Amino acid sequence: MKKKSCNTCDWRFDNGREFPIFHKDNEEDVRLAKEYCKEHTFVYSHECEPQWCEECGYLTIYQAIVTEASRKSTPKFDKRK
């Protein structure tokens, strides 16, 4: 019987998504994940790195490392609507 979910990250392989989440073995997915982190770092000055599941290889999170210096350089967005 085929495995239906990852034991490490609980990713469900049978969820029926039309567009699956990024996978570390797909060069285009890795490029897009790194591009996202590069843009995030440019705007927010936080280090960003995609984190891939060790067992199944799917993207689990984008890890942003916030330091005191990067927190102070974050742009002040207008939160009023």
Give phi and psi for 63, each to the nearest 5: -90, 120
3-state secondary structure at position 73: coil
Reference 55, options 17, 14, 1, 10; nearest CA is 10
What pLDDT is stored for residue 1 in this prediction?
Answer: 47
Cα 39 from Cα 54, distance rounded (Å): 25
pLDDT in tens, 25-60: 999 999 999 999 999 888 887 889 999 999 989 999
**The model's pTM:** 0.73
**Antiparallel, parallel or unpaired: β 47-52 and 59-65:** antiparallel
